[in-house]
Amino acid sequence: TGNSFCTLLALEKRWPHHRRTRSLNKRYSMAAALFGAAAASVQNHVHHKKELRLAADLKEAEMQQSLRFHVEEMRQSADLFKVHATTQWQLHHDTMSIARDLARRETMRDVWQQRQFLNQTLLVVAALMFSSVFVAISQPQLPEPERPNAWYFGLYGVALGLSAFLLALSMWATFKVQSRMGSYNVNAPHLVYRCGNAHTDFNSYFSCHCEWLRVAATAAFFGGTMALLAGSVGAQLVQAEHHFKDPLTGYIFAAIVVTAAVVVVALELLASDKCVEGPEYGGLAHDEAESDDDAADDAGAQRM
């Protein structure tokens, strides 16, 4: 190695052009190195630009995907809210409908009980008056056959017989009213009855099947009571004139009884049982109207 180095030094001293060639080679090497560095720098710059472009594209795609996800999430949330709101509205409506139906049934049951109490009161009073007829038949002292003024006795007999008939008719009609009232089914408002109609409320059923019997029972009761009073007047006149020898007392009793009967009849004709105008005695007309409105609203909501 030492000999080779010495040989090269000797050659360089002898041939100076070798030094120039070596200098050129160094320059060429430096130029090649600079060119390689420049090419590498340019390539790195190109790669950096590609990386930036790819990063921007990925960011844009990520933003678009996030936007689509957000839009889809909002749409799903809106659909879920719509379904939830519809379900809640339907649940609230069903709850209110059930509560309204229960309240309506309770109202009809209250009306039924009120009419039942009135019917039972009429039945009890008619039975009491019917028993009074037999008391009036057995208690008074009848006149002797040879005594005059036999029309007193005729009034007494005819009036008590008519009273017994009318009061018995009143009790029969009252029993029929009570029986027909028990045939109404509150839980089946659309049930078709013998008349061919479906009575959605008790008042409609009562007006169709029981009202005329109630009127007949009331009229027969008052007629029987008036006949009983007439019979009692006849019995009192018979006793006052033929047994107590005081016809004035009998006339006074008859006047008082007739006056009381006239006052009672006048009050019955003037004082109506209905306090509210309209077909629905008992306050069910407004509930029926609300039920119809709710049914119309339900139909409209279902079409929407």
Provide the angle, in degrees to the nearest 10, between the axes of the packed helices 202-209 and 211-242.
60
Q: What is the DSSP string of 28-87?
A: HHHHHHHHHHHHHHHHHHHHHHHHHHHHHHHHHHHHHHHHHHHHHHHHHHHHHHHHHHHH
pLDDT digits (tens, 9 = 90+) for 200-241: 777 778 888 888 888 888 888 888 888 888 877 777 776 666
pLDDT digits (tens, 9 = 90+) for 111-147: 778 888 888 888 888 888 888 888 777 766 665 555 5
CA distances from 256 to 124, 209, 241, 259 (A): 26, 39, 17, 5
Strands (E), 48-188: none
Distance separating alpha carbons of residues 129 and 160, to the nearest angstrom: 11
Q: Are 109 and 186 in contact (CB under 8 A)?
A: yes
pLDDT-derived band at 269 (thresholds 50, 70, 90) equals confident
Work out the mean pLDDT of the chain and round it to a whole number.
74
Residue 169 has pLDDT above 70, yes or no: yes
Residue 78 has pLDDT above 80, yes or no: yes
Averaged pLDDT for residues 39-58: 82
* Closest of 98, 103, 285 to residue 203, by C-alpha: 285
Lookup: tokens for 98: 């059930």
Percentage, residues of the chain above pLDDT 70: 70
Distance separating alpha carbons of residues 203 and 273, to the nearest angstrom: 14
Q: What is the DSSP string of 250-298?
A: HHHHHHHHHHHHHHHHHHHHHS-S--S-SS-TTS-HHHHHHHHHHHHHH
Q: Are 247 and 148 in contact (CB under 8 A)?
A: no
Taking the domains of the chain in order of start, what are their residue ranges?
A: 2-67, 112-283
Distance separating alpha carbons of residues 15 and 88, to the nearest angstrom: 108
Q: What pLDDT sits at residue 285?
A: 44
pLDDT digits (tens, 9 = 90+) for 257-267: 778 778 877 88
